[in-house]
Structure 1
Amino acid sequence: MNTFGNIFRLTSFGESHGKAIGGVIDGCPAGLEVDMDFIQQELDRRRPGQSRVTTPRKEADTVVFLSGLFEGKTTGVPIGFMVENTNQHSSDYENLKDVFRPSHADFTYYTKYGIRDYRGGGRSSARETIARVVAGAIAKLYLKQIGISVTAYTSQIGSVALERDYTQYDFNEIENNIVRCPDPQKAEEMIRLIEEVKSQGDTIGGVITGVIQGTPAGLGEPVFGKLHAALGAAMLGINAVKGFEYGSGFDVDHRGSEVNDSFVKEDGKMSTLTNHSGGIQAGISNGQDIYFRVAFKPVSTILREQKTADIQGDTILFKARGRHDPCVLPRAVPIVEAMAAMTLLDYYLLAKSH
């Protein structure tokens, strides 16, 4: 299953230490003006080596489009693209070729396929998400022209968490710090925590909050194609994601009388007085903001000695080498946005096809 989506579809290819990462986008409407600078900007937000709290691997991550565009616009045919890998250090992984690293894809990939690319995790590497960011950027461009915006930010790293609702933050602050947090003070605390964890050769996880604004009512299917289920599947398909909630989610210590969203008509348009539902009811968007949270585990590769088993089943001690993120959150923000944008565009096109 290397293809995502129903109408707006992305098929991705490539491995961490292969020649390139790329993809084919099918189902993108014709006539969309493609802003190349915006697409590259989105890739730059994801690329490695961008700050002191990310992996030092240096990659330009410059996208090259191979098909589907003419005179700066989409033509309606498949859009092919690729991003070359130029800074692999495959030798860093020689000591791991027969090792099943704790909490990695090594064992499960080997069990499923009988072979695995041990260099940087191969296909299981988060480097594959380059393709998602490119496709997500194109989806964002389309959504923008119909008034839908997709924003994500780091809301928690370890025990350092934002305490206010997303409506209380200025989204313009998100890109003003290296952890992509809209609260400057909390951002500094997050940075210090990541640096402390990094100095110990360890890693740490956290939470990214996503907000989709401008979604029209009526997107989503009533039973097996629920919009929140599609968003959940999209987020849980991102490397290192362990949990997804939308609306009030796991904040369950309330009565129905406290969290029911009452309807009211304002300026000739139906709305709700509150939004505990997170913009989705019965699997279908109701026109309010869609907001959700995505939990990321600590990166599995730690630069400390660990006990595990090798391919023969013998217990061994090993220590990883190479360049790795101590915390995936800062670089995962554009990936969360990309997956949300692709999902929303796909379901918008599905609604139009009915």
Structure 2
Amino acid sequence: MYGSTFGELFRLTTFGESHGAGLGGVVDGCPAGIPLDESIIQKELDRRKPGQGGVASTTRKEPDQVRIQSGVFEGVTTGTPIGLFVENTNQRSHDYSTIKEIFRPGHGDFTYTGKYGVRDYRGGGRSSGRETVSRVAGGAIAQELLKQEGISVYAYTVELGGIPAEVIDYEGSTDREYFSPDPDAPAKWNEYVSQVKDEEDTLGGVVEVRATSVPIGLGEPVFGKFDARIAHALMSVGAVKAVEIGAGTEAARKRGSENNDPLTPEGFLSNNAGGILGGISSGQDVVARAYVKPIPSILQEQRTVTVDGQETFVMIGGRHDISAIPRINMVLKSMLALTIADLLLIDRRLGRTR
């Protein structure tokens, strides 16, 4: 897993910039015979677009219409690389002309310049959240493979701006604002988001991802642990600053007698381990949480420096979300799906059966 490629056997390579011609990806290693057409991928992309998060969404409108370029014939995958492309159609690059010579606080401007000596200041180029379009398209294909194994993947908001969801109905979250697992949470979140928006600020939150019907045995001992791969996958998303598996940080505050998941002939009595023991799936739901930072583009004056090192202040224009949630939910869901798809193929290559 290097640079713009994720996975060993089920591999996604992405390309494109926020204000370039478009974004795309190549999925290599997908088995032949998986039902797939553009409408399947489009359904996931539509869930990533603005409008799923009430008043938190950007005013930028993109159709994000995907085109399959290769690897599919007569409605099924052929086993060859699947090429995907989504055209950018609603760029306003002039919004960024004022920050051409300025480093935006909280963004990758400073580090991209330090690494490459050049940066695409129009929305951040590859460091833009729009890069995730390709991940969602690739993740949609991974989910079709997982369906063949009876595995389902969910992503739902368990906290926004410090306000938690009180109910976890993850199956119902798909049809609610913010992909909320709690029917009552969106109203509270919208009220707070409106307040923060009036204050020209932004919010972070927490997204839980869950995979059900995961078979026992996925993941490798030591360096190939399932939970380590999940952490890598979720942390590769730009806005994510921390990841928990199962009980996560709460496990550090428990006693062993509280944190262990008792076994009975009928199964486990709890799931503090998040469905992973010894780095290998236990057959329980795989559960992880991603902690998402606030959007760094705020409509307040911030202290910074120019590319020449001169002190200055900046107020960032453009069209931005108040929170990466809930659009990031589909990205995190895709990354978990890609991780599991890859581990399934690794198990097959090693000749393991369950």
TM-score normalised by length of structure 2? 0.95
Q: How far apart in 1 are the matches of 2:166 and 2:55?
A: 26
> Which secondary structure does the structure 2 equivalent of 1:219 belong to?
coil
> Which secondary structure does the structure 1 equivalent of 2:272 belong to?
coil
Counterpart of 2:318 in structure 1 is 322
Kindly state the Cα deviation for residue 320 of structure 1 after the two structures are TM-superposed.
Answer: 0.8
In structure 2, give the amino acid aligned to 1:146.
E
Kindly state the Cα deviation for residue 49 of structure 1 after the two structures are TM-superposed.
Answer: 5.5
**Maintained 8 Å contact 1:15/1:122:** yes
Greater Cα shift, 85-94 or 49-58: 49-58
Match of 1:290 among 256, 264, 286: 286
In structure 1, give the amino acid aligned to 2:47.
R
Matches within 5 A, 1:38-57: 38-48=40-50, 51-57=54-60
Kindly state the Cα deviation for residue 288 of structure 1 after the two structures are TM-superposed.
Answer: 0.6
1:202 pairs with 2:201: yes
1:81 pairs with 2:80: no
Counterpart of 2:8 in structure 1 is 6
Greater Cα shift, 47-56 or 243-252: 47-56
Q: How far apart in 2 are the matches of 1:188 and 1:117?
A: 38
In structure 2, give the amino acid aligned to 1:264.
T
Kindly state the Cα deviation for residue 259 of structure 1 after the two structures are TM-superposed.
Answer: 1.8
Counterpart of 1:123 in structure 2 is 126
Root mean square deviation of aligned Cα? 1.2
1:261 pairs with 2:261: yes
> Which secondary structure does the structure 2 equivalent of 1:40 belong to?
helix
> Which secondary structure does the structure 1 equivalent of 2:156 belong to?
strand
Residues paired across the two proteins, number? 346
Counterpart of 2:335 in structure 1 is 339
Q: How far apart in 1 are the matches of 2:25 and 2:133?
A: 9
Q: How far apart in 1 are the matches of 2:59 and 2:248?
A: 36
**Maintained 8 Å contact 2:38/2:66:** no
Counterpart of 1:154 in structure 2 is 157
Unaligned runs of 5+ in 2: none
> Which secondary structure does the structure 2 equivalent of 1:61 belong to?
coil
Counterpart of 1:233 in structure 2 is 232
Kindly state the Cα deviation for residue 187 of structure 1 after the two structures are TM-superposed.
Answer: 1.5
Kindly state the Cα deviation for residue 52 of structure 1 after the two structures are TM-superposed.
Answer: 3.2
In structure 1, give the amino acid aligned to 2:65.
T
Q: How far apart in 1 are the matches of 2:123 and 2:177?
A: 24
Q: How far apart in 2 are the matches of 1:190 and 1:171?
A: 20
Q: How far apart in 2 are the matches of 1:204 and 1:54?
A: 12
Kindly state the Cα deviation for residue 170 of structure 1 after the two structures are TM-superposed.
Answer: 5.1
Cα pair distance change 1:148/1:304, threshold 3 Å: same
Kindly state the Cα deviation for residue 53 of structure 1 after the two structures are TM-superposed.
Answer: 1.8
Kindly state the Cα deviation for residue 148 of structure 1 after the two structures are TM-superposed.
Answer: 0.5
In structure 2, give the amino acid aligned to 1:45.
R
Q: Which runs of structure 1 show a deviation greater than 2 angstroms over 4 or more consecutive aligned residues?
A: 35-38, 48-52, 175-178, 262-266
**Maintained 8 Å contact 2:95/2:318:** yes
> Which secondary structure does the structure 2 equivalent of 1:218 belong to?
coil
> Which secondary structure does the structure 2 equivalent of 1:119 belong to?
coil
Q: How far apart in 2 are the matches of 1:49 and 1:89?
A: 19
Q: How far apart in 2 are the matches of 1:47 and 1:204?
A: 18
Counterpart of 2:108 in structure 1 is 105
> Which secondary structure does the structure 2 equivalent of 1:211 belong to?
strand
Counterpart of 1:132 in structure 2 is 135
Counterpart of 1:25 in structure 2 is 27
Q: How far apart in 2 are the matches of 1:38 and 1:184?
A: 27
In structure 1, give the amino acid aligned to 2:291.
A
Kindly state the Cα deviation for residue 37 of structure 1 after the two structures are TM-superposed.
Answer: 2.2
Q: How far apart in 2 are the matches of 1:264 and 1:352?
A: 29
Q: How far apart in 2 are the matches of 1:135 and 1:211?
A: 18
**Maintained 8 Å contact 2:156/2:170:** no
> Which secondary structure does the structure 1 equivalent of 2:18 belong to?
coil
